[in-house]
Amino acid sequence: MRKTVVTTALVFLFVLMLGSVATAGTVLDGILKKGELVVGMTGDQPPLNATTKDGELIGFDADLARAIAMRMNLKIRFARMPFAELLPALQAGKVDMIVSGMTMTPERNLKVAFIGPYHVSGKGILTKIKTLESLKKEGVNNPQLKVATLKGSTSQQVVEKAAPKARLTLAPSYDEALKLLFEDKVDAVIADYPFCAYVVARYPDKELALGESKLSFEPLGIAVREDTLWINGLDNFIRMLIASGEMNAMQERWFKSGDWIKQLP
């Protein structure tokens, strides 16, 4: 009963905050007129977002995006693309928002607006057990160290700053980075800590190891184009999801349980 009351209140308040089409800002007005929310997402950053065997997008990010669309009474359409293409797509108006494990950084904030953080993460080192010991002895700034990470991500920035001598490979997706690690073409992958933990749990036969601590502070946000009313409404909605406990419930589902992994290819 309490959950129904809370959800109903969230819907009512969200509608009030966003206002009507007549009073909406330019970006919000366009979204409401077309009746559809287009969300940019990679679909390959589990547990934040992933693609099932049937081609459905699932994960923490996907649940959050669907919650926003549902509260706005809009249809939702996910636009899958490589991570490095997300910001250009938003700036060009090809998507209405990005919900894809994107860290809020000053550099990105000069291009688009961010709402959040809706989750705080950090970078992790994913490697093979046999490699971990040598990393501990020689450090990450070894010129012989081969590292793969996601092109255009803050992981790339972490490697370039912490290990400038390492040989860095920029992959278009985490799947490609993992393939390099599995084939021993790189020694380590730097990625979001939850993703690293997911990989270790999913591939026990690969003898993988996860660094003991997070390498950075990563506040994840929703990226949108500038529109005061749109930004204010989304910001307040995220705050209400946190206050009501719904955000925590989504985090529990995707970060604490691995039941969803069986849906993946």
Low-confidence spans in the chain with pLDDT less than 70: 1-24, 136-141
Check residue 139 and give its pLDDT: 66
Check residue 141 and give its pLDDT: 65
For residue 138, how many other CB atoms are within 10 A of its CB? 11
Check residue 16 and give its pLDDT: 47
Check residue 265 and give its pLDDT: 92
Check residue 215 and give its pLDDT: 86
Average pLDDT value for the chain:
89
Check residue 134 and give its pLDDT: 73
Check residue 51 and give its pLDDT: 97
Check residue 1 and give its pLDDT: 47
Q: Examine residue 47 and say whether the peptide bond preceding it is cis (omega within 30 degrees of 0).
A: yes
Q: Is 242 left (phi over 0), alpha (psi -120 to 50) or beta?
A: alpha
Full 3-state SS string of the chain = CHHHHHHHHHHHHHHHHHCCHHHCCHHHHHHHHHCEEEEEECCEECCCEEECCCCCEECHHHHHHHHHHHHCCCEEEEEECCHHHHHHHHHCCCCCEECCCCECCHHHHCCCEEEEEEEEECEEEEEEHHHHHHHHHHCCCCCCCEEEEECCCHHHHHHHHHCCCCEEEEECCHHHHHHHHHCCCCCEEEEEHHHHHHHHHHCHHHCEEECCCCCCCEEEEEEECCCHHHHHHHHHHHHHHHHHCHHHHHHHHHHHCCHHHHHCC
Task: Report the predicted TM-score, pTM, of the whole model to 2 decimal places.
Answer: 0.85
Residue range 228-253, pLDDT digits in tens: 999 999 999 999 999 999 999 999 99
Check residue 57 and give its pLDDT: 98
Within 8 A by CB and 6+ apart from 39, the residues are: 65, 69, 76, 77, 78, 79, 95, 96, 97, 98, 99
What percent of the chain clears pLDDT 70, i.e. is strictly above it? 89
Residue range 35-83, pLDDT digits in tens: 999 999 999 999 999 999 999 999 999 999 999 999 999 999 999 999 9
Domains plus CATH for the chain? 2-121+219-263 (3.40.190.10), 123-210 (3.40.190.10)
Give the integer Cα–Cα distance in Å for 254 and 49. 9
Check residue 132 and give its pLDDT: 73
